[in-house]
Structure 1
């Protein structure tokens, strides 16, 4: 019995002695930037619509007025405020029965997409927007999984001196809009903007 156990353990000891540990690999660090950079330095499909583009000869009621000029993006205004717009970037969001699905929405850097991937764009205040950025393609994965694209709306910063502005718009088919805005500094490092 003792001879048999020695015969079985001898090949295992020889096998363990012959194996060497694999070579140790150097650590790999992967970083992705989400800070402000010039548009020409960003290697992604990114479009920026500034304030004049958003408001040029438009009532600025919703994103359906300005976003169709972005390539690869389809916006369907269903003429039903309960369902909101249907936004599709390269096919993502095309099957949403209401709202926006499969895209990430941000308002001044604050996520406007629910954890289940559903979002609404009706709360974006285009009258106060400085710019809208649309990120398409694989770089939108930097903002999380299931992100077929990213739509970010950035508000204008309050000016150094207080300003009050009022505007009105009227058109055919009963179109009308009235708005008021107050913006100004609160402290040396903070400002406030109120739009109605």
Structure 2
């Protein structure tokens, strides 16, 4: 039986480069027999954490889509965190969701994670802040494993990623979960 794979695409652009790499990863994972679900965070209402800690007593007072996504994260075996790189870190949509995991802390354990990142810059060094932020999130949850990193560099216009070697890399990563 395959694994449950949850892809969290945080690109605000439908069919943007990171969003397309999510689809390509999903294609490979699906062909390998895994159960794949992709959630586009831009299509969800996710408020930022207000540090009220009401979630510790049962329920976040915000009426949004975050609790449903958090439950899917808990149920997943593999989680893909996909983001375009803005100002050398993850975009706000992904950061808002990751901050909301305080509601399920420390239960989000023993997951494998893949990162998908895209940016217009061509220097891999410019991913450093994004990678550190994603790794910082994983450090907070016991048993989290960084399983792979898919980096689309030098892509800005929608669809440019299809012409890069990372296009096949995303597919192969999905196949090899």
Short-chain TM bin: under 0.3
* Greater relative CO, 1 or 2 (CA 8 Å, sep 6+): 2
Q: Is the radius of gyration larger for structure 1 or structure 2?
A: 1
What's the TM-score once normalised by structure 1's chain length? Answer: 0.22
Q: Quick check: which one's helix share is greater?
A: 2
